[in-house]
Amino acid sequence: MGQDARVRYTKMVIRQAFLEILKDTPLNRITVKKVCEIAQINRSTFYKYYYDVYDLFEQIKQDILDRLKEFVLNIQTDSSRELMLKILEATKNVSESVLVICSENGDIKFLTDIFSVCYSHVVPEFYARYPSLNESQKQWLYHYISVGCYGVLRCWVESGMKENPEELCDFLEVIFNNTISFKQNISKNGTYTFFV
């Protein structure tokens, strides 16, 4: 038990040191030596847990995603709004790490991974709203809306997550529900007319 606590503490110190450096230094310029200096550990301790700084970076991202996935799986709701709110709250709880990871020094595409965590949970409810659309049309509509939601989420994260998750969730729900309101008009050739 004591050894496990020491391992967790050592990994935490290494990760904190790495993220501190990442605030001001691009990932490709961070060295194991620098991480060890800040973490006050020797290189052999670092290599006991990580292959290099890229492996460390990937493990940090994966840990955040794993915790988020576990969190989402434990949410007892069929509401996409409630799910999105919980994900935004969870994201804000690890905001410092997410802000550093998604910075220009790290991986700005990491937000896509965060956003995709809720994909399989939101899609069934979303598709159920539009039973008259075929599968391709449902996918087009979902991706159209999700790209906009991703843009809002990215802006929120990059601006420091100043607004509370409830406010952001309200805004996203308006986008989700009203970006396209349409009436199906099937002509003789089977085409659809969408009224925005």
Which pLDDT band holds residue 111 (cuts at 50, 70, 90)? Answer: confident
Residue with tokens 């659809």: 192
Q: Kindly report the CATH class assigned to 78-196.
A: mainly alpha
What predicted TM-score, i.e. pTM, was given to this entire model? 0.72
pLDDT of residue 119: 66
Cβ-count burial of 124 within 10 angstroms (0-12 exposed, 13-18 middle, 19+ buried)?
Answer: exposed
Nearest to 168 by CA among 81, 103, 104: 81
Which pLDDT band holds residue 188 (cuts at 50, 70, 90)? Answer: very low
CA distances for 82 relative to 93, 126, 194, angstroms: 17, 14, 28
Q: Is residue 139 over pLDDT 60?
A: yes
- pLDDT tens for 158-171 read 788 888 888 988 88
pLDDT, mean of residues 91-97: 74
- Provide the token pair at 129: 């709203």
Domain assignments of the chain as residue spans, ordered by start: 78-196
Q: Is residue 16 over pLDDT 50?
A: yes
Which range is most confident: 41-50, 84-93, 111-120? 41-50
Whole-number Å distance between alpha carbons of 34 and 40: 10
Whole-number Å distance between alpha carbons of 104 and 107: 7
| Mean pLDDT of the chain, nearest integer | 80
pLDDT of residue 80: 67
pLDDT of residue 185: 47
Q: Is residue 107 over pLDDT 70?
A: yes
pLDDT, mean of residues 40-61: 96
Whole-number Å distance between alpha carbons of 36 and 93: 27
